[in-house]
C-alpha cells in the first residue's frame, strides 16, 4: 500500500514537515534566557552530565536535553530528573531570570543549595511556574518567602530532602493558595501539621496532600478537609505522635478516593464513610481505632494492628 501513496501528497507532506522543522530551528533563545541557562548548566553540572551548552549556546535549538522553549525563544520547561547532578548547585538568581518557565523538574539529583543550604529563595517571582519538582536533593530547609516566588504554583514536590524541622510559613504557602493542586512533602522532618491546607475555602483546588514519614505531632483537627476537593491524603508513618479522631475529619472529606493514615496514634471510632462515594482505599493500619468495620465493597480496607477493631467502642 505504501508504494501507492500518490506522489503529490507525499511531496506536500514533506514540504509541510520541512517548514515546521525550519520554523522551530529559527526560534533562537532569548539572550537573557540563554545566559541564565548557561550559568545553570555550569553550576548544576548539567553541562557535564547532559551536555548542555557544549554543542550550542542556544538552549532552544533542541541540543539541550530536557529543555523546551516557546515560539518566542523563551525557556518554558526544564525536565532534568535523575540527571546525575550530585554536588551541583542551584542559584536562585539564575532561576528567577527564566520568567516564562512553567515547569521545573530537577528531582532525584542530589543538588545542593547555593548558600546556607536552604531551597533557593528567588529575588523575583516566576509568575508562570506551575510545576516544581525538587524531590531527592540535598536542600536543608525552606526559607520564608519560598512559595511566594511561585504565585501560579499547581504541583509541588519536595520529598526526601535532608531537612531538619523545616518551617512551612502559613502566609507564605497561602501566596499560592488559589491554584495549588498537589502538595507533596514526604520525609523532610516536618514537625508541624500545616492544617490550613485542609481548608476548602483557602485551598479550593487542592486534590492531593502527601505529608508521610515526617515528624508531625499533635492532632488533626475536627473538620480538617471538610467539603474540600482532596482526593488523596497520606499522613502515614510519622516518627512523632500524630493523633486525632478520624471519624471527626474523614467523614466530611467528600472527595476522598484514597486515604493513608497508617502507623500513627489515631483513636476513636472508625469513620462513617457512607457519604464518601468515591472512596477506594482506607489504610489506617497500626493505630488505636475501635468499632466494627462497615465499608462498602468498593473500598480496600486495612485496619490491621488496631487492637480494638472488631469490638464496639
Ligand X SMILES: *[C@@H]1O[C@H](CO)[C@@H](O)[C@H](O)[C@H]1NC(C)=O
Residue with the shortest CB distance to ligand X: 162
Our CB check for ligand X shows the closer of 130 and 213 to be 213
Kindly write out the interface string for residues 196-225 of this chain, putting x where it contacts ligand X by CB under 6 A and - elsewhere: -----------------x------------
Which residue's entry shows cell 516566588?
149
DSSP secondary structure letter of residue 221: P
Instruction: Write down the least CB distance from residue 293 to ligand X, Å.
Output: 29
CB of 82 vs ligand X, minimal distance in Å:
15
Nearer to ligand X, 113 or 175 (CB): 113
Answer yes or no: are the C-beta atoms of 228 and 253 closer than 8 Å.
yes
Closer to ligand X by CB, 130 or 260: give it. 260
Q: How far is the CB of 143 from ligand X (least distance, A)?
A: 18
Are the beta carbons of 122 and 95 closer than 8 angstroms?
A: yes
17 Cβ partners below 8 Å, 6+ apart? none
Q: Please state the closest distance from residue 260 (CB atom) to ligand X, in A.
A: 14
Find out whether 273 and 279 touch, Cβ atoms under 8 Å: yes
Residues touching ligand X, count (CB under 6 A): 8
Residue 146 vs 203, nearer CB to ligand X: 146
Phi, psi (deg, nearest 5) at residue 276: -90, 75
What is the distance, to the nearest Å, from the Cα of residue 95 to the centroid of all Cα atoms in its chain? 18
- As a whole number of angstroms, the distance between CA 304 and CA 130 comes to 39
Site for ligand X in 19-78 (CB under 6 A): 38-39, 42
- Provide the minimum distance between the beta carbon of 137 and ligand X in the complex, in angstroms, as a whole number: 9
Write down the least CB distance from residue 135 to ligand X, Å. Answer: 9
Beta bridge partners of 68: 77
Which residues touch 185 (CB under 8 Å, ≥6 apart)? Answer: 157, 158, 159, 168, 210, 211, 214
SS (H, E, C) 7-75: HHHHHHHHHHHHHHHHHHHHCCCCHHHHHHHHHHHHHHCHHHHCCCCCCCCCCCCCCCCCEEECCCCCE
Nearer to ligand X, 84 or 162 (CB): 162
Please identify, using beta-carbon distances, which residue of 94 and 247 lies nearer to ligand X.
94
Interface with ligand X in residues 154-193 (CB under 6 A)? 160-162, 187
- For the bound state, the minimum distance from the C-beta of residue 144 to ligand X, rounded and expressed in Å, comes to 21
Give the separation between CA 273 and CA 276, rounded to whole angstroms: 5
Site string for ligand X, 261-280 (x = CB under 6 A): --------------------
| CB-nearer residue toward ligand X: 39 or 68 | 39
Under the rule (CB under 6 A), what is the footprint of ligand X?
Answer: 38-39, 42, 160-162, 187, 213
Amino acid at each position: 500500500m505504501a508504494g501507492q501513496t500518490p506522489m503529490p501528497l507525499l511531496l506536500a507532506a514533506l514540504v509541510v514537515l520541512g517548514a515546521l522543522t525550519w520554523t522551530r530551528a529559527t526560534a533562537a533563545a532569548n539572550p537573557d534566557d540563554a545566559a541564565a541557562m548557561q550559568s545553570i548548566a555550569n553550576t548544576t553540572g548539567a553541562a557535564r552530565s547532559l551536555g548542555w551548552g557544549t554543542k550550542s549556546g542556544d538552549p532552544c535549538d533542541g541540543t539541550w536535553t530536557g529543555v523546551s522553549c516557546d515560539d518566542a525563544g523563551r525557556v518554558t520547561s526544564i525536565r532534568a530528573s535523575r540527571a546525575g547532578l550530585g554536588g551541583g548547585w542551584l542559584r536562585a538568581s539564575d532561576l528567577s531570570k527564566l520568567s516564562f518557565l512553567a515547569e521545573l523538574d530537577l528531582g532525584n539529583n542530589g543538588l545542593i543549595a547555593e548558600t546556607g543550604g536552604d531551597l533557593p529563595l528567588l529575588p523575583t517571582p516566576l509568575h508562570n511556574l506551575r510545576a516544581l519538582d525538587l524531590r531527592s536533593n540535598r536542600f536543608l530547609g525552606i526559607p520564608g518567602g519560598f512559595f511566594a516566588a511561585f504565585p501560579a504554583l499547581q504541583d509541588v514536590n519536595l520529598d526526601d530532602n535532608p531537612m531538619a524541622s523545616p518551617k512551612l510559613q502559613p502566609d507564605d504557602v497561602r501566596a499560592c493558595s488559589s491554584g495549588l493542586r498537589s502538595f507533596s512533602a514526604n520525609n523532610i522532618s516536618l514537625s508541624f501539621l500545616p492544617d490550613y491546607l485542609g481548608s476548602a475555602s483557602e485551598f479550593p483546588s487542592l486534590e492531593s496532600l502527601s505529608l508521610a514519614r515526617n515528624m508531625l505531632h499533635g492532632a488533626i483537627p475536627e473538620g480538617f478537609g471538610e467539603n474540600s476537593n482532596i482526593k488523596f491524603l497520606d499522613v502515614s508513618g510519622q516518627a512523632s505522635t500524630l493523633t486525632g479522631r478520624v471519624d471527626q475529619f474523614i467523614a466530611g472529606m467528600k472527595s476522598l478516593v484514597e486515604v493513608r493514615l497508617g502507623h500513627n496514634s489515631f483513636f476513636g471510632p472508625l469513620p462513617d464513610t457512607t457519604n464518601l462515594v468515591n472512596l477506594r482505599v482506607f489504610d489506617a493500619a497500626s493505630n488505636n481505632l475501635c468499632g466494627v468495620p462497615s465499608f462498602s465493597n468498593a473500598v480496600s480496607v486495612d485496619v490491621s494492628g488496631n487492637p480494638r477493631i472488631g469490638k464496639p467502642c
